[in-house]
């Protein structure tokens, strides 16, 4: 009796699509959890059998090796945890600079490829075909060994006065140094920034309500962001000094320097990715129907204004999603840094730290998690931007 | 490489990496997989025909001779410093013979065992003569080329910190990379184990313009490694190395070993497997040590032809002389 009842209930539930979905999906989740658990247990067991240390305790041990470029304070006495941060910041540095450069270059070339100037169009096409089709690693080697590697030695640096030096060890420029009441300067800078932001907001509101631009807004911006800090700084005695690079016994010392590894990687990443971005931009612009241009031209707008006010805003909707992919690719490709010894996350942490501690599982897991996190954040930001730019239906 | 090896550790079963015994696995495959340097003259480097030579390579050959009876049955896997340990841990190779320094961390936390010392080395510095430097103490502010993931990298940091000096580390993946960087002027100093400095100097475009500074800042005992947990295999590697050293001490070499069969010396009788422990306990054939000397040579021969006076490197025996000749090369007795 009970059996029959159960059977009936089951077959009824089985036919109910909602219940069936719940059943299958619970089953799937359970299976994934089980497999994951199995993998973790198996790994831990294997590591123990093999006599390999596990855990994250190594992060607080002192690293004992030097890193050539660090955005935060670092020397050999800092911990392996610190090497992780140093590597991460170096990755973020080269990626963010790369994204900005690649975007600028990509846009210029994308627009150039649609120009009515025959030569400009050909050049843009040649650029895209050339840099898109050569493996990135080879391009990195090209910039590092063939271009930067043949620069003169530090003693025979190419120099422009006392200001700019270029040699096989990198580029050296003076480093600005503020002396005097610097808090006053920074405070007034912050104040000026806030003033400018509120001005911009007010100007926007005004334009939205009246359709007119506030006539004096541009000069106000200039006053807000430039003049206020300069005046308060000057009055309170803040002066800008320059620390010049000086020839030391072996190398130039002092000033700001860009190591050739960074320059080579940055050039290769930006130039390579720009070729893809140029294509994305070209496709985006071509997606805007010809009628839009013609209509804008009929209103008497000049070419530049047509591009800025009519074509690009519409093209952006097509451009942003594939652009996100290019940014993610650039960030991930920055891990090729290892090939030329730029101290990025993969080189410093997943390379040297892994090798010095031997804790491959933990180190690789952390590195993968970080790349995943960076990529997710970029795509979150770009998706938000995409929604902001999307066509507003009225 | 490191990542594929890692996947091995993650997904593979530990027992399959260790098999029942490494010896059985090697016999089944019919060859030994041996991890070596990607290219370091004198220790392991391939010639134009792809034939590997060097001291580390000869250790691989000696182990293959003991295990399989044939020095040719080795598959060499070139590894960078960063890749080497994961490759061994995950079972990608049976033996790591790649100028690796014996340290506490490596012995105690990596799940690995050092099977002895094949070369006593120490870290030194090489600079261009034109810099006019005569001591490592004058190197503050210099850019230094190093190979990443090595003890060299750590010793360098210690040495400069201890002496209150600053340096810019220019880190490369391979020892060849460090030599290229030094050659191109990317760095002022190349630091590495001294034996490597002599080897790398040959690779420079103008070897005569570089000098090796007198300071030796560390001790670097280099030797072969195996995975923990297979004592039989550990013993085989340990005793293959010992056999080469003991053979030199007994005056046995690849040329005279067959004629020594009639020797009345009981130590030689034991060595040749006519008497004594033979291959028992290690599951080897009785003439395993004999075959090593016949096919690969004794320690002195291996040293001479790869790094010593008969090679382009011309390194003196020094510490690596036998204990009986004033060095510290010493193997436990073969009995």
Per-residue pLDDT at A158: 85
- Tell me if A254 is assigned to some domain: yes
Q: What end-to-end distance do the CA atoms of chain B give, in Å?
A: 41
The reply to whether A137 and A202 lie within a common domain is: no
B169 touches chain A (CB under 8 A): yes
Mean pLDDT of B42-68: 94
Tens digits of residue pLDDT in A335-378: 999 889 899 999 999 989 988 888 888 999 999 999 999 999 99
Radius of gyration for the alpha carbons in chain B, expressed in angstroms and rounded = 20
Angstrom distance (rounded) from CA A130 to CA A313: 29
pLDDT at A222 over 80: no
Q: Give which of B90, B135, B157, B225 to mutate to test A binding, by max A Cβ within 10 Å.
A: B157
Beta carbons within 10 angstroms of residue A277's beta carbon: 27
Residues whose CB is less than 8 angstroms from the CB of residue B45 and which lie 6 or more positions away in sequence, other chains included: B37, B39, B52, B53, B54
Name the residue among B195, B194, B147 with its Cα closest to residue B169. B147
DSSP A233-301: HHHTT-EEEEE--EE-SSSEESSEEE-HHHHHHHHHHHHHHHHHHHHHHHHHHHTS-HHHHHHHHHTT-
Per-residue pLDDT at B164: 92
The reply to whether A159 and A217 lie within a common domain is: no
How do B74-79 and B112-114 pair as beta strands? unpaired
A61 token code pair: 């041990």
Angstrom distance (rounded) from CA B318 to CA B305: 16
Per-residue pLDDT at A393: 63
Mean pLDDT of A226-244: 77
Q: How near does any CA of chain B get to the CA of A149, in Å?
A: 7
Q: Are A74 and A348 in contact (CB under 8 A)?
A: no
A246 confidence band (pLDDT: 50, 70, 90): confident
The reply to whether A322 and A382 lie within a common domain is: yes
The reply to whether A90 and A158 lie within a common domain is: yes
The reply to whether A282 and A133 lie within a common domain is: yes
B7 token code pair: 């996947």
- Tell me if A71 is assigned to some domain: no
Angstrom distance (rounded) from CA A347 to CA A338: 5
B20 touches chain A (CB under 8 A): no
B window 31-60, beta carbon within 8 A of A: none
- Which of the residue ranges A14-18, A228-232, A304-308, B279-283 would you say has the lowest mean pLDDT? A228-232
Residues of B within 8 A of A350 (CB-CB) are 2
Of the residues A239, A258, A287, the one at which a domain ends = A239
Sign of CA dihedral A268, A270, A276, A278: negative
**CATH code of A318's domain:** 1.10.3720.10
Per-residue pLDDT at B19: 47
SS3 B34: strand
Per-residue pLDDT at B34: 96
Name the residue among B94, B103, B98, B89 with its Cα closest to residue B118. B98
Angstrom distance (rounded) from CA B226 to CA B236: 10
Per-residue pLDDT at B13: 45
B271 confidence band (pLDDT: 50, 70, 90): very high
Strand partners, A241: A177
B15 confidence band (pLDDT: 50, 70, 90): very low
A261 token code pair: 């590894």
**pTM of the predicted model, to two decimals?**
0.82
The residue of chain A with its CA nearest to that of B230 is A50
| B300 CB burial (10 A radius; 0-12, 13-18, 19+) | buried
- Tell me if A364 is assigned to some domain: yes
pLDDT at A3 over 60: yes
B268 confidence band (pLDDT: 50, 70, 90): very high
Of the residues A49, A67, A88, the one at which a domain ends = A49
Mean pLDDT of A22-43: 92
Residues of B within 8 A of A68 (CB-CB) are 168-171
Inter-chain touch B85–A355, beta carbons under 8 Å: yes
The reply to whether A133 and A256 lie within a common domain is: yes
- Tell me if A54 is assigned to some domain: no
The reply to whether A229 and A312 lie within a common domain is: no
Per-residue pLDDT at B16: 44
B208 token code pair: 């005569």
The reply to whether A253 and A352 lie within a common domain is: yes
How do B45-46 and B119-121 pair as beta strands? unpaired
Of the residues A10, A29, A49, the one at which a domain ends = A49
Name the residue among A319, A317, A300 with its Cα closest to residue A111. A319
pLDDT, chain A, mean: 87
- Which of the residue ranges A232-241, B223-232, B247-256 would you say has the lowest mean pLDDT? A232-241
Residue A359, phi-psi category: left (phi > 0), alpha (psi -120 to 50), beta (remainder): beta
User: From residue B280, how far is each of A360, B243, B258, B286, B318 by CA, in Å?
Assistant: 37, 15, 22, 8, 35
Residues of B within 8 A of A47 (CB-CB) are 9, 111
Q: How near does any CA of chain A get to the CA of B216, in Å?
A: 19
B1 confidence band (pLDDT: 50, 70, 90): very low
**If you count residue pairs, one on A and one on B, with CB atoms under 8 Å apart, how many are there?**
145
Residue of higher predicted confidence among B126 and A223: B126
- Tell me if A110 is assigned to some domain: yes
The reply to whether A213 and A252 lie within a common domain is: no
Tens digits of residue pLDDT in B81-133: 888 998 999 899 999 999 999 999 899 888 999 999 999 999 999 999 988 89
User: From residue A53, how far is each of A230, A371, B81, B208 by CA, in Å?
Assistant: 57, 25, 20, 46
Q: Are A238 and A180 in contact (CB under 8 A)?
A: yes
Inter-chain touch A341–B173, beta carbons under 8 Å: yes
The reply to whether A144 and A213 lie within a common domain is: no
Q: At what angle do helices B55-68 and B288-295 cross, to 10 degrees?
A: 140
Strands in B225-227's sheet, in edge-to-edge order, are: B74-79, B32-37, B95-96, B225-227, B112-114
Name the residue among A278, A314, A313 with its Cα closest to residue A113. A278
Angle at B299 between CA B324 and CA B51, to 5 degrees: 165
- Tell me if A72 is assigned to some domain: no
Residues of A within 8 A of B3 (CB-CB) are 364
The reply to whether A142 and A290 lie within a common domain is: yes
DSSP A178-217: EES-HHHHHHHHHHHHHHHHHHHHHHHHHHHHHS---TTH
A158 touches chain B (CB under 8 A): no
Per-residue pLDDT at A346: 93
CA atoms within 13 A on the CB side of A7: 4
Tens digits of residue pLDDT in A92-137: 999 999 999 999 999 999 999 988 899 999 999 999 999 999 999 9
Per-residue pLDDT at B226: 96
Per-residue pLDDT at B14: 44
Q: Are A277 and A102 in contact (CB under 8 A)?
A: yes
- Tell me if A58 is assigned to some domain: no
Q: At what angle do helices A118-132 and A80-112 cross, to 10 degrees?
A: 150
A213 token code pair: 């631009």
- Which of the residue ranges A38-47, A54-63, A250-259, B319-328 would you say has the lowest mean pLDDT? A250-259
- Tell me if A394 is assigned to some domain: no
Tally the domains of chain A.
3
pLDDT at A66 over 70: yes
Q: Are B81 and B148 in contact (CB under 8 A)?
A: yes
Residue of higher predicted confidence among A200 and B18: A200
Domain range spanning residue A161?
A: 80-174+244-389
The reply to whether A196 and A301 lie within a common domain is: no
- Which of the residue ranges A208-212, A292-296, B316-320 would you say has the lowest mean pLDDT? A208-212
B20 confidence band (pLDDT: 50, 70, 90): low
Q: Are A260 and A172 in contact (CB under 8 A)?
A: no
For chain A, give the percent of residues with pLDDT over 70. 98
Angle at A140 between CA A137 and CA A143, to 5 degrees: 150
Mean pLDDT of A225-246: 77
Q: Give which of A43, A46, A147, A344 to mutate to test B binding, by max B Cβ within 10 Å.
A: A46
User: From residue B184, how far is each of A145, A153, A154, A302, B223 by CA, in Å?
Assistant: 9, 9, 12, 53, 32
Q: Give which of A39, A66, A150, A362 to mutate to test B binding, by max B Cβ within 10 Å.
A: A66
Residue of higher predicted confidence among A180 and B259: B259
In the structure, how many helices (H) and strands (E) does chain B have?
A: 13, 14
Strand partners, A347: none
pLDDT, chain B, mean: 90
Per-residue pLDDT at A326: 95
Tens digits of residue pLDDT in A143-169: 998 888 888 888 888 888 778 888 888
pLDDT at A328 over 90: yes
């Amino acid at each position: 009796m009970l059996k029959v009842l159960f059977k009936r209930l089951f077959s009824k539930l089985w036919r109910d699509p909602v219940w069936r979905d719940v059943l299958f999906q619970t089953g799937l989740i359970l299976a994934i959890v089980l497999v994951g658990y199995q993998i973790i247990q198996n790994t831990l067991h294997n590591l123990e059998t093999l006599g390999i240390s596990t855990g994250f305790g190594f992060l607080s041990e002192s690293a004992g090796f030097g890193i050539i470029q660090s955005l935060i304070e670092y020397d050999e006495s800092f911990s392996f945890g610190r090497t992780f941060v140093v590597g991460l910041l170096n990755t973020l540095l080269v990626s963010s600079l790369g994204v900005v450069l690649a975007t600028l270059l990509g846009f210029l070339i994308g627009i150039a490829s649609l120009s009515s100037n025959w030569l400009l169009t050909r050049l843009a096409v040649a650029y895209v075909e050339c840099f898109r089709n050569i493996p990135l690693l080879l391009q990195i080697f090209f910039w590092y060994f063939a271009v930067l590697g043949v620069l003169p030695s530090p003693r025979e640096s190419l120099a422009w006065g006392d200001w700019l030096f270029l040699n096989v060890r990198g580029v050296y420029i003076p480093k600005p140094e503020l002396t005097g009441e610097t808090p006053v300067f920074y405070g007034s800078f912050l104040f000026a920034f806030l003033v400018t932001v509120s001005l911009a907001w007010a100007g926007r509101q005004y334009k939205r309500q009246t359709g007119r631009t506030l006539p004096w807004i541009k000069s106000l911006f200039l006053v807000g962001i430039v003049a206020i800090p300069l005046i308060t700084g000057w009055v309170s005695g803040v002066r800008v000094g320059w620390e010049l690079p000086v020839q030391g016994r072996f190398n130039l010392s002092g000033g700001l320097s860009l190591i050739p590894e960074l320059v080579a990687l940055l050039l290769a990443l930006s130039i390579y990715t720009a070729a893809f971005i140029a294509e994305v931009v070209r496709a985006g612009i071509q997606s805007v129907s010809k009628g839009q241009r013609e209509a804008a031209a009929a209103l008497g707008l000049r070419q530049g204004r047509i591009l800025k006010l009519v074509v690009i805003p519409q093209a952006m909707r097509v451009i942003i999603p594939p652009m996100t992919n290019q940014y993610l690719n650039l960030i991930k490709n920055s891990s090729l840094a290892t090939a030329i010894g730029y101290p990025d996350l993969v080189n410093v942490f997943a390379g040297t730290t892994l090798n010095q501690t031997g804790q491959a599982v933990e180190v690789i897991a952390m590195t993968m998690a970080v790349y995943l996190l960076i990529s997710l954040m970029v795509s979150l930001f770009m998706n938000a931007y995409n929604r902001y730019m999307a066509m507003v239906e009225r | 490489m490191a990542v594929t090896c890692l996947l091995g550790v993650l997904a593979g079963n530990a027992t399959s990496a260790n098999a029942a015994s490494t010896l059985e696995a090697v016999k089944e495959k019919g060859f030994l997989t041996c991890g070596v340097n990607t290219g370091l003259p004198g220790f392991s480097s391939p010639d134009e025909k792809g034939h590997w030579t060097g001291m580390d390579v000869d250790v691989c050959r000696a182990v293959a001779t003991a295990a399989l009876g044939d020095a040719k049955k080795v598959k060499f896997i070139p590894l960078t410093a960063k890749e080497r340990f994961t490759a061994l841990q995950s079972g990608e190779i049976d033996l790591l013979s790649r100028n690796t320094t014996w340290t506490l961390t490596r012995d105690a936390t990596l799940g690995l065992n050092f099977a002895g010392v094949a070369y006593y080395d120490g870290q030194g510095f090489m600079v261009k003569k034109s810099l006019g430097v005569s001591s490592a103490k004058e190197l503050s502010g210099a850019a230094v080329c190093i190979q990443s993931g090595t003890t060299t990298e750590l010793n360098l940091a210690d040495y400069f910190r201890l002496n209150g000096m600053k340096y810019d580390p220019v880190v490369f993946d391979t020892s060849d990379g460090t030599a290229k960087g030094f050659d191109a002027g990317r760095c002022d100093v190349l630091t590495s184990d001294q034996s490597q400095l002599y080897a790398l100097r040959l690779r420079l475009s103008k070897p005569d313009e570089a000098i090796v500074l007198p300071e030796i800042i560390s001790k670097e005992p280099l030797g072969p490694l195996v995975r923990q947990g297979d004592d039989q295999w550990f013993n085989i590697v340990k005793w293959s190395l010992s056999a080469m050293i003991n053979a030199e001490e007994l005056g046995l070499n690849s040329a005279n070993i067959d004629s020594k069969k009639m020797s009345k010396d009981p130590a030689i009788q034991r060595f040749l497997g006519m008497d004594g422990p033979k291959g028992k306990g290690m599951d080897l054939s009785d003439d395993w040590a004999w075959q090593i000397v016949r096919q690969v040579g004794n320690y002195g021969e291996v040293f001479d032809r790869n790094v010593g006076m008969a090679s382009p490197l011309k390194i003196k025996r020094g510490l690596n002389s036998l204990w009986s000749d004033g060095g510290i090369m010493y193997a436990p007795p073969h009995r």
